[in-house]
Amino acid sequence: MNILITGGSGFLGARLARTLLAQGSLALAGAPAQPIERVVLVDRVAPPADLAADARVQPLLGDLVEQLAAGALPLAEVQAVFHLAAAVSGECEADFDLGMRSNLDATRQLLEGCRRAGHAPVFVFSSSVAVFGDSPEQPLPAVIEDTTLPTPQNSYGIQKFIGEQLVADCTRKGFVQGRNVRLMTVSVRPGRPNGAASSFLSGMLREPLAGERARCPVAPGTAVALSSPGNTVRGIIRASTASAAEWGARTAVNLPALTTTVGEMAQALERVAGKEATALIDWEPDAQIARIITGWPSRFAPKRAQALGLAADESFEAILRDYVRENPQAVKLAVKG
């Protein structure tokens, strides 16, 4: 079996690749498991050293839209596509053209490439909780159900929702076996901040643990829906293995979310690394970021995901301790327990 991951050198793409390679096989769409022979990682940058050293990994470096236009992706040879590459929320609000090119044009062209390949690969599209938004005309319900109508209120959410519909229609036409999964905000991400409006939901923990100051642009009582990196990857992989009967409707599945508040996240940080850590958080409001974050839902009833055997993380403290365990080189403060 050959697999292609767009955004494959990024944090989530690399973690997905490592997980698949460690498994060694994959049971696509309810079929018997097949050994994984090749994982193609499409990205602007080279993959991490451990992935580059794996003989099963094939890096394809360059702009995704340009590679698709040149026919450089081996779509005729892959049985599964995990489409993770995207411009993130803050970037899309700041640069409309970037968002349309990276999130809409790339998705459409990738689906067209799969259509031309002619063998209907499993196509997992990483959508987002940002497809839901609050507005005076259409307030969000207290809890998002699987049937709640998406009402995106920013460019990123709109682009992701359009992508979902493109995948759904290509599935209806038999061009791909589409699986749209709506990811929650992933925390804690290692590395440096990115352009996402939600980037602080990792930075306010990651930077203090490294002994650096961090900014939190929203009020402590702000509720958010989170998922750990490991739980997010489990959801993405489960989407690829679900049979058509298990998956059900072509509409997207909301992955399970841990609902917490920003203040509770800070409290977890204090339990893990003490007051020295939380003293490094600067609570500085940013109206634009707060508007985006508070417009996203924080509570979900993900019955379809639960029927697939997926569940939310146990607690944010558990997520934070997993980050410390997995990234010891990035933790400079003394950790309790």
Q: Which candidate, 3, 12, 176, places its Cα nearest to that of 86?
A: 12
Identified catalytic residue from 123, 132, 156, 175: 156
- Cβ atoms within 10 Å of 116's Cβ, excluding its own: 11
- Nearest 5°: CA angle at 313, between 305 and 156? 65
User: What is the token pair recorded at 129?
Assistant: 């909780």
DSSP three-state, residue 58? strand
Q: Which helix (H) or strand (E) holds 236?
A: helix 229-241
User: Distances from the Cα of 238 to the Cαs of 70, 117, 179, 277, 316, in angstroms?
Assistant: 32, 24, 10, 36, 22
323 is catalytic: no
Q: How far apart are CA 292 and CA 302, in angstroms?
A: 22
- How, if at all, do strands 57-61 and 2-6 pair? unpaired
What is the DSSP code string of 167-196? HHHHHHTTS-EEEEEEEPEE----SS--S-
Torsion sign across C-alpha atoms 299, 303, 308, 311: positive
Q: How far apart are CA 282 and CA 83, in angstroms?
A: 35
- How, if at all, do strands 281-283 and 214-216 pair? parallel
Contact 289, 197 (CB under 8 A): yes
Q: How far apart are CA 152 and CA 154, in angstroms?
A: 6
Contact 133, 154 (CB under 8 A): yes
Residues marked active site are found at 156
